[in-house]
């Protein structure tokens, strides 16, 4: 009976792009999913963008766009990056969805019914200027222990100390730069300790790798603390039912996003979500990094228990990526974004290299750049791709592209390849891709030795039929190695299938051979890595020169001094754009109708190259309210809007917070 599985990767957060560190997990998961499918199992790979929380709000505000527009753009970007690395999801959804809202409410209300939600009054930092609550990461100040400046509100990068933001020296809001004030607020907590017994049973039954279990035992030893699951508005997330202006903390609805993605897929494909997720018909596995273990090992199963929902079978926890023995570093150019990698190198190179390093434990994965180039060039290109690249053209060029029959020696070679299947399947199943790759490389050595011993390139001149027999063995062996590699190198396998003129390969095909079969012309399966391209990628990943080092661009000279009294004559006001439209005969201008808190003004603004009229309506701008009306060719301009920028059409309107009131004076 084929197995049925649901597999997930952790949801990428919608405020940053995918980098090669993230790719460890997506590639690890994708390889496992592809292996399951090629082994004949039914397997769904679900993921989504994680879209809620304060960082999203702040980023959207900084960009002057809505949160919805920000997360939509990031979703498109994430999915394209991941797809271009040949990561194949069955569904890639978003946590900002109706399915996720409903599931979050259902799970919360069930936990509440079970008596596991409690209220507590807490003190939290508040930014009075921005009118928002500040998470610890949005408070900066000096470390209370080592006095290092510019540290976060929860921990110090310089000395590693953990502390409360209230203990910091001179704390300020990272958003406004103003000192935060402490305010009281009632928050909702999930009582994790209600589920301690059942969680212990889960871990004893092997929910996580044994190396991870020790960490969990530590947490249990320290006592399971209640978990704060609510945030006060304004907050970008789901409102908590039955509460006033309270929202689910992003970490509550993020893992529920796995289920929401599954539900969305089921609804689109006529499947019964409750049956698929909840009946036990499917095994469920989460791939995660060790940094988010607490959430996935404790909160997540406990929430599911509270809601009487199915708990996943296993967590697969992996380590972090190190590059050349160190943490990824922007200044060293080793903090490589997925897109930067793709600009220079073949994604299959990284797929192969990570696979050769992943062994299924929680140790860190080391990407050594020199080793990366050598291993791909010598093993993948030199040994594996070498077999078809030498045999194929001989067969199509001189022997009509026809395979012959296997003789005894050829059968022995092919059998040796096929006999390794159980071992390789076992390695994939246990996430030990490194062992699978080692075994495949050693089999490729056997094949290359067979070619050297039998010398088909000489035989083809003296005994063409004998050469055909040898090449038939080599290509059959290469075909089996391609099956073994297919979870890691799907594009390589596809080219091989085209070359051999066969339908898509799966693990069952190791039991068959190709004889008396016409093949197609050989096309290159994979290119070598050129060191220059790796260097160019690292160069592109380094931060741009600081402004001081850049040659100064010519700027407008500063105008003659004006006094504060002169400046005070300019009355700057917050204004809301009520209407915006083109100006006939002036393609740089837009006609704006502004509301200055009861007073209306019509203004012509030279921003048509940078802003579309429909993007401006409803926005707040700063307007010179007392500018003497100017008669222009198109009508009278009764003021002007303040913008930075110039002749090339690159313009930024002076940004105004949504909290400002039209008509308010700007100083």
DSSP 463-513: -HHHHHHHHHHHHHHHHHHHHHHTTT-HHHHHHHHHHHT-PPP-GGGGG--
- 149 vs 530, beta carbon nearer Zn ion: 149
Contact 49, 86 (CB under 8 A): no
- 158 vs 446, beta carbon nearer Zn ion: 158
Helix H or strand E segment including 104: helix 98-113
In terms of Cα–Cα distance, which of 210, 235, 209, 347 is closest to 287?
Answer: 209
- 21 vs 141, beta carbon nearer Zn ion: 141
How far apart are CB 316 and Zn ion at their closest, in Å? 34
- 151 vs 482, beta carbon nearer Zn ion: 151
CA atoms of 30 and 59, how far apart (whole Å):
30
Q: Any residues with CB less than 8 A from the CB of 256 and at least 6 apart, and which?
A: 95, 100, 103, 104, 107, 303
| 27: three-class secondary structure by DSSP | helix
Name the DSSP letter for residue 662.
Answer: T
How far apart are CB 270 and Zn ion at their closest, in Å? 57
How far apart are CB 55 and Zn ion at their closest, in Å? 23
How far apart are CB 58 and Zn ion at their closest, in Å? 25
Q: 576 φ, ψ to 5°?
A: -105, 135
How far apart are CB 165 and Zn ion at their closest, in Å? 14
Task: Please give the residue ranges that form the binding site for Zn ion (CB under 5 A).
Answer: 143, 145-146, 148, 156, 158-159, 161
| Token pair recorded at residue 512 | 């068959």
Q: Strand 42-49 and strand 4-9: pairing?
A: parallel
Positions of E strands within 257-382: 283-289, 314-318, 321-323, 326-327, 365-367
- 156 vs 216, beta carbon nearer Zn ion: 156
- 141 vs 301, beta carbon nearer Zn ion: 141
Name the DSSP letter for residue 162.
Answer: B
How far apart are CB 167 and Zn ion at their closest, in Å? 11
- 150 vs 374, beta carbon nearer Zn ion: 150
- 39 vs 148, beta carbon nearer Zn ion: 148
CA atoms of 4 and 295, how far apart (whole Å):
25
Indicate the length of the chain as a whole number.
Answer: 667
How far apart are CB 169 and Zn ion at their closest, in Å? 10
How far apart are CB 139 and Zn ion at their closest, in Å? 15
Helix H or strand E segment including 133: strand 132-133
Contact 318, 310 (CB under 8 A): no
């Amino acid at each position: 009976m084929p197995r049925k599985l649901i597999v997930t990767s952790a949801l990428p957060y919608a405020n940053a792009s995918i980098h090669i560190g993230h790719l460890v997990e997506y590639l690890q998961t994708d390889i496992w999913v592809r292996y399951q499918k090629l082994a004949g199992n039914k397997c769904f790979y679900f993921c989504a963008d994680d879209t809620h929380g304060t960082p999203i709000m702040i980023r959207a505000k900084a960009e002057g766009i809505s949160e919805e527009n920000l997360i939509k753009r990031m979703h498109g970007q994430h999915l394209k990056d991941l797809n271009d690395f040949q990561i194949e999801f069955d569904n890639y959804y978003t946590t900002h969805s109706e399915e996720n809202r409903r599931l979050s409410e259902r799970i919360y209300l069930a936990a509440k019914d079970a008596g596991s939600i409690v209220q507590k009054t807490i003190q939290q930092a508040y930014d009075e200027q921005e009118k928002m609550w500040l998470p610890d990461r949005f408070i900066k100040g000096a470390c209370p222990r080592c006095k290092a400046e510019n540290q976060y509100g929860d921990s110090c990068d310089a000395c590693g100390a953990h502390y409360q933001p209230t203990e910091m020296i001179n704390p300020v809001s990272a958003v406004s730069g103003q000192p935060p004030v402490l305010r009281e607020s009632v928050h909702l907590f999930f009582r994790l300790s209600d589920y301690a017994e059942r969680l212990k049973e889960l871990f004893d039954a092997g929910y996580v790798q044994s190396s991870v279990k020790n960490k969990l035992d530590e947490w249990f030893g320290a006592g399971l603390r209640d978990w704060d699951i609510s945030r006060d508005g304004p907050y970008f997330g789901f409102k908590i039912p039955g509460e006033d202006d309270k929202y689910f903390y992003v970490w509550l609805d993020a893992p529920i996003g796995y289920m929401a993605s599954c539900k969305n897929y089921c609804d689109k494909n006529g499947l019964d979500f409750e049956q698929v997720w909840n009946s036990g018909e499917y095994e469920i596995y989460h791939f995660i990094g060790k940094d988010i273990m607490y959430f996935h090992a404790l909160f997540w199963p406990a929430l599911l228990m509270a809601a009487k929902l199915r708990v996943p079978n296993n967590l697969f926890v992996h380590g972090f990526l190190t590059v050349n023995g160190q943490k990824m570093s922007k200044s060293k150019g080793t903090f490589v974004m997925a897109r930067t990698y793709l600009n220079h190198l073949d994604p299959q190179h990284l797929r192969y290299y990570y696979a050769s390093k992943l062994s299924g434990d929680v140790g860190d994965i080391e990407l050594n750049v020199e080793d990366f180039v050598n291993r791909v060039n010598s093993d993948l290109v030199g040994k594996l791709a070498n077999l078809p690249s030498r045999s194929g053209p001989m067969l199509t060029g001189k022997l009509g592209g026809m395979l012959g029959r296997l003789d005894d020696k050829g059968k022995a070679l092919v059998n040796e390849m096929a006999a390794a299947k159980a071992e390789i399947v076992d390695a994939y199943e246990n996430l030990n891709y490194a062992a699978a790759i080692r075994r495949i490389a050693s089999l490729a050595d056997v094949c290359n030795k067979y070619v050297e011993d039998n010398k088909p390139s000489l035989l083809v001149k003296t005994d063409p039929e004998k050469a055909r027999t040898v090449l038939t063995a080599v290509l059959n062996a290469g075909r089996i190695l391609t099956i073994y590699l297919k979870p890691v190198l799907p594009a390589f396998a596809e080219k091989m299938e085209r070359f051999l003129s066969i339908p898509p390969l799966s693990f069952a095909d190791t039991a068959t051979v190709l004889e008396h079969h016409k093949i197609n012309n050989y096309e290159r399966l994979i290119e070598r890595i050129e060191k220059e391209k790796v260097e160019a990628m690292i160069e592109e990943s380094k931060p741009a020169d600081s402004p001081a080092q850049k040659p100064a661009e010519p700027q407008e000279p500063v105008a003659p001094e004006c006094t504060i009294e002169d400046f005070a004559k300019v009355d700057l006001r917050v204004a809301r754009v009520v209407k915006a439209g083109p100006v006939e005969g002036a393609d740089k201008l837009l006609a704006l109708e502004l509301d200055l808190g009861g007073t209306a003004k019509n203004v012509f603004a030279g921003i048509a190259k940078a802003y579309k009229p429909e993007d401006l309506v409803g926005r707040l701008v700063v307007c010179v309210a007392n500018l003497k009306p100017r008669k222009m060719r198109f009508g009278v301009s009764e003021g002007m809007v303040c913008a930075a920028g110039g002749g090339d059409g690159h313009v930024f309107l002076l940004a105004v917070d949504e909290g400002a009131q039209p008509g308010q004076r700007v100083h």
